[in-house]
Structure 1
Amino acid sequence: MAAPAESGSGGWLGLERTQRLRAEWHSVQAGFVDDPRQAVQQADALIEKSVGLLAEAVTERRHQLRGAEAAPDGAPAASTEDLRLTLREYRALLDRLLGT
Protein backbone atom coordinates (compact mmCIF):
# COMPACT_ATOMS: atom_id res chain seq x y z
CA MET A 1 0.00 0.00 0.00
CA ALA A 2 1.62 3.21 -1.12
CA ALA A 3 0.78 6.16 1.11
CA PRO A 4 0.27 9.60 -0.38
CA ALA A 5 3.33 11.77 -0.64
CA GLU A 6 4.34 13.56 2.53
CA SER A 7 4.28 17.34 2.79
CA GLY A 8 7.98 17.68 1.98
CA SER A 9 7.30 16.22 -1.43
CA GLY A 10 4.11 18.10 -2.25
CA GLY A 11 1.63 16.48 0.11
CA TRP A 12 -1.45 14.84 -1.38
CA LEU A 13 -0.98 16.35 -4.82
CA GLY A 14 2.69 15.64 -5.41
CA LEU A 15 5.53 18.09 -5.70
CA GLU A 16 5.08 19.09 -9.36
CA ARG A 17 1.34 19.77 -9.11
CA THR A 18 1.81 21.63 -5.81
CA GLN A 19 4.48 23.83 -7.37
CA ARG A 20 2.18 24.62 -10.32
CA LEU A 21 -0.66 25.58 -7.98
CA ARG A 22 1.66 27.79 -5.93
CA ALA A 23 2.87 29.46 -9.14
CA GLU A 24 -0.76 30.09 -10.13
CA TRP A 25 -1.37 31.60 -6.69
CA HIS A 26 1.61 33.94 -7.05
CA SER A 27 0.22 35.05 -10.42
CA VAL A 28 -3.20 35.71 -8.88
CA GLN A 29 -1.64 37.63 -6.02
CA ALA A 30 0.51 39.73 -8.35
CA GLY A 31 -2.56 40.61 -10.42
CA PHE A 32 -4.37 42.06 -7.41
CA VAL A 33 -2.76 45.48 -7.84
CA ASP A 34 -4.06 45.90 -11.39
CA ASP A 35 -7.49 44.27 -10.94
CA PRO A 36 -8.48 43.31 -7.39
CA ARG A 37 -11.91 41.96 -8.36
CA GLN A 38 -10.48 39.67 -11.03
CA ALA A 39 -7.76 38.50 -8.65
CA VAL A 40 -10.37 37.47 -6.09
CA GLN A 41 -12.36 35.63 -8.77
CA GLN A 42 -9.18 33.85 -9.90
CA ALA A 43 -8.36 32.96 -6.30
CA ASP A 44 -11.81 31.42 -5.90
CA ALA A 45 -11.33 29.41 -9.11
CA LEU A 46 -7.90 28.25 -7.94
CA ILE A 47 -9.35 27.03 -4.64
CA GLU A 48 -12.11 25.19 -6.47
CA LYS A 49 -9.53 23.55 -8.74
CA SER A 50 -7.31 22.63 -5.79
CA VAL A 51 -10.18 21.11 -3.81
CA GLY A 52 -11.17 19.04 -6.85
CA LEU A 53 -7.62 17.75 -7.27
CA LEU A 54 -7.43 16.96 -3.56
CA ALA A 55 -10.74 15.09 -3.71
CA GLU A 56 -9.40 13.02 -6.61
CA ALA A 57 -6.24 12.19 -4.65
CA VAL A 58 -8.22 11.12 -1.57
CA THR A 59 -10.58 9.04 -3.71
CA GLU A 60 -7.61 7.29 -5.31
CA ARG A 61 -6.19 6.52 -1.87
CA ARG A 62 -9.52 5.07 -0.78
CA HIS A 63 -9.58 2.85 -3.87
CA GLN A 64 -6.10 1.60 -2.98
CA LEU A 65 -7.23 0.80 0.54
CA ARG A 66 -10.35 -0.99 -0.68
CA GLY A 67 -8.19 -3.03 -3.01
CA ALA A 68 -6.04 -4.08 -0.07
CA GLU A 69 -9.02 -5.53 1.77
CA ALA A 70 -10.70 -7.24 -1.20
CA ALA A 71 -9.49 -10.62 -2.30
CA PRO A 72 -9.70 -11.39 -6.02
CA ASP A 73 -11.77 -14.39 -7.10
CA GLY A 74 -10.14 -17.61 -6.02
CA ALA A 75 -7.65 -15.90 -3.72
CA PRO A 76 -7.76 -16.42 0.02
CA ALA A 77 -9.61 -13.74 1.95
CA ALA A 78 -7.57 -11.00 3.56
CA SER A 79 -6.15 -12.03 6.90
CA THR A 80 -7.04 -10.31 10.13
CA GLU A 81 -3.54 -8.79 10.12
CA ASP A 82 -4.07 -7.43 6.59
CA LEU A 83 -7.38 -5.93 7.68
CA ARG A 84 -5.76 -4.45 10.81
CA LEU A 85 -3.11 -2.77 8.66
CA THR A 86 -5.76 -1.48 6.28
CA LEU A 87 -7.79 -0.08 9.19
CA ARG A 88 -4.65 1.63 10.45
CA GLU A 89 -4.19 3.21 7.01
CA TYR A 90 -7.80 4.44 7.08
CA ARG A 91 -7.11 6.02 10.49
CA ALA A 92 -3.99 7.71 9.08
CA LEU A 93 -6.04 8.96 6.12
CA LEU A 94 -8.66 10.45 8.43
CA ASP A 95 -5.99 12.02 10.63
CA ARG A 96 -4.42 13.69 7.59
CA LEU A 97 -7.81 14.95 6.41
CA LEU A 98 -8.55 16.38 9.83
CA GLY A 99 -5.07 17.83 10.21
CA THR A 100 -4.32 15.90 13.39
Structure 2
Amino acid sequence: MSIFLGLGLTQNFSSWDQLFLDDPIQSMDDIKILSFIDVLRAISDSNFKKQNLIISTHDDNFAKLLAIKYRNKSLTQYNFIGYGLQGPLIQRV
Protein backbone atom coordinates (compact mmCIF):
# COMPACT_ATOMS: atom_id res chain seq x y z
CA MET A 1 0.00 0.00 0.00
CA SER A 2 2.80 2.42 0.85
CA ILE A 3 4.43 1.90 -2.55
CA PHE A 4 1.12 2.49 -4.33
CA LEU A 5 0.43 5.67 -2.34
CA GLY A 6 3.96 6.93 -2.91
CA LEU A 7 3.77 6.35 -6.66
CA GLY A 8 0.27 7.80 -6.87
CA LEU A 9 1.25 10.96 -5.05
CA THR A 10 4.48 11.60 -6.94
CA GLN A 11 3.57 10.66 -10.52
CA ASN A 12 4.09 13.41 -13.09
CA PHE A 13 3.02 11.67 -16.31
CA SER A 14 -0.65 12.64 -15.95
CA SER A 15 -2.47 15.81 -14.97
CA TRP A 16 -5.42 13.74 -13.75
CA ASP A 17 -5.42 14.36 -10.01
CA GLN A 18 -7.31 11.28 -8.85
CA LEU A 19 -6.18 8.51 -6.55
CA PHE A 20 -8.34 5.36 -6.62
CA LEU A 21 -8.26 2.78 -3.81
CA ASP A 22 -10.31 -0.38 -4.27
CA ASP A 23 -11.09 -2.02 -0.93
CA PRO A 24 -7.75 -1.06 0.64
CA ILE A 25 -8.40 -2.69 4.03
CA GLN A 26 -9.24 -6.27 3.09
CA SER A 27 -6.31 -7.78 5.00
CA MET A 28 -5.95 -5.22 7.82
CA ASP A 29 -6.85 -5.56 11.48
CA ASP A 30 -8.65 -2.78 13.39
CA ILE A 31 -5.49 -0.98 14.52
CA LYS A 32 -4.04 -0.94 11.00
CA ILE A 33 -7.36 0.34 9.62
CA LEU A 34 -7.33 3.27 12.05
CA SER A 35 -3.69 3.98 11.24
CA PHE A 36 -4.40 3.82 7.52
CA ILE A 37 -7.23 6.35 7.84
CA ASP A 38 -4.90 8.61 9.83
CA VAL A 39 -2.31 8.37 7.03
CA LEU A 40 -4.96 9.29 4.46
CA ARG A 41 -6.02 12.28 6.57
CA ALA A 42 -2.41 13.40 6.94
CA ILE A 43 -1.99 13.26 3.17
CA SER A 44 -5.23 15.24 2.75
CA ASP A 45 -4.12 17.82 5.31
CA SER A 46 -0.70 18.32 3.73
CA ASN A 47 -0.14 20.73 0.90
CA PHE A 48 2.06 18.18 -0.86
CA LYS A 49 -0.33 17.45 -3.70
CA LYS A 50 -4.06 18.03 -3.90
CA GLN A 51 -5.83 15.00 -5.30
CA ASN A 52 -9.30 13.58 -5.19
CA LEU A 53 -9.28 10.36 -3.22
CA ILE A 54 -11.82 7.78 -4.38
CA ILE A 55 -12.25 4.72 -2.17
CA SER A 56 -14.50 1.77 -2.91
CA THR A 57 -15.30 -0.71 -0.16
CA HIS A 58 -17.81 -3.39 0.74
CA ASP A 59 -17.23 -2.84 4.48
CA ASP A 60 -20.00 -0.63 5.92
CA ASN A 61 -18.09 -0.15 9.18
CA PHE A 62 -15.05 1.17 7.30
CA ALA A 63 -17.28 3.56 5.33
CA LYS A 64 -18.86 4.82 8.56
CA LEU A 65 -15.46 5.25 10.19
CA LEU A 66 -14.18 7.19 7.17
CA ALA A 67 -17.25 9.45 7.36
CA ILE A 68 -16.54 10.13 11.05
CA LYS A 69 -12.83 10.77 10.52
CA TYR A 70 -13.51 13.03 7.51
CA ARG A 71 -16.47 14.88 9.04
CA ASN A 72 -14.61 18.22 8.87
CA LYS A 73 -13.48 17.65 5.30
CA SER A 74 -15.35 17.76 2.03
CA LEU A 75 -16.49 14.15 1.83
CA THR A 76 -19.03 12.85 -0.64
CA GLN A 77 -20.27 9.33 -0.01
CA TYR A 78 -22.32 7.10 -2.31
CA ASN A 79 -23.90 3.73 -1.60
CA PHE A 80 -24.47 1.13 -4.28
CA ILE A 81 -28.01 -0.15 -3.75
CA GLY A 82 -28.32 -2.71 -6.53
CA TYR A 83 -29.29 -3.06 -10.17
CA GLY A 84 -32.57 -1.96 -11.69
CA LEU A 85 -33.97 -1.94 -15.19
CA GLN A 86 -32.19 1.36 -15.89
CA GLY A 87 -28.82 0.11 -14.59
CA PRO A 88 -27.02 0.53 -11.26
CA LEU A 89 -28.90 2.16 -8.38
CA ILE A 90 -26.64 4.55 -6.49
CA GLN A 91 -27.66 6.70 -3.55
CA ARG A 92 -25.81 9.73 -2.22
CA VAL A 93 -25.47 9.57 1.56
TM-score normalized by structure 1? 0.33
Q: Which structure has the greater CA radius of gyration?
A: 1
Larger proportion of helix: 1
TM-score w.r.t. the length of structure 2 is 0.34
Higher share of residues assigned strand? 2
Which structure has more relative contact order (CA 8 Å, sep 6+)? It is 2
